[in-house]
Amino acid sequence: MNLFAELGHTGVVKKDQRVTAGAAGVPQSAETDASTRQRVAISILEHGPSTAAELAERLGLTPAAIRRHLDVLLAAGHLDAREQRVYGARGRGRPAKVFVLTDAGRSVFYTAYDDLAIEALEFLATSAGPDAVTRFAEARMAESEERYRERMANAAPDTTSAQALSVALSEDGYVASTLPSAIGEQLCQHHCPVAHVAARFPQICEVETAAFSRLLGVHVQRLATIAHGDGICTTHVPNVRRTTTDMTTSERP
């Protein structure tokens, strides 16, 4: 579980919002279109970018039904359709489309649990001082950082450090990806489970950015954050030039 996930209780919120089949004696077939579309959005929030086939399998819906609900969510601006990233050899045919939540789609999941988290941290800052929030953030981030480091160490040899970190972040619900830039890479997080809390306490973003620098071995720079109104959390990861002292004897001129 990620930084402040316990305070945010995002998993609890998702389950509370879901209308389960059979509740109050209502059969699956009687489930409303609205609640089904909510289940689709929740599934994407929990699992990240998803194809129509993956959503249909997870939710027990027919391909035709899932496409109908996806069309409605796309028209409402809650989802965006993108070409699926393919790593390694690409098979025949066009890559499948994946569906991701937009800012409007993410805003549906703002709940009173965020208010509770903010109140708890405000109490901590008042009773123990502003530095206490930073220390708490660092302690919580340390657990995630260790997991990310292990995940990155086991990444494929042709995977960049930023790509490996994006996979680890996605496993924690951040729906992360990377983009090449002229002088490095951009690490993008399309969802932030604690965005509303981080908007009140920027220490959360600062601690996370510092952890990224340690994990990637370079000084990274935050260019944008969801917490401050941007659509995506974007972190610039510069290329690292190897010096002569970094090279082995055989590599030196």
* Separation CA 168–CA 217 (nearest Å): 16
List CB contacts of 247: < 8 A, sequence separation 6 or more: none
Whole-prediction pTM: 0.60
d(CA 104, CA 230): 12
Are the beta carbons of 207 and 138 closer than 8 angstroms?
A: yes
Per-position pLDDT tens, the chain of length 253: 344 444 444 333 333 333 334 444 444 443 578 889 989 988 887 777 889 999 999 999 999 999 999 999 999 898 999 887 654 455 565 667 899 888 778 777 665 667 888 999 999 999 999 899 999 999 999 999 999 999 999 999 999 999 999 999 998 888 899 999 889 999 999 888 888 899 999 999 999 999 999 999 999 999 999 888 887 899 999 986 433 334 444 444 4
The continuous run of DSSP H or E covering 173 comes out as: none
CB distance 225 to 212 below 8 Å? no
Alpha helices in 129-241 (DSSP H): 130-153, 161-171, 195-200, 203-216
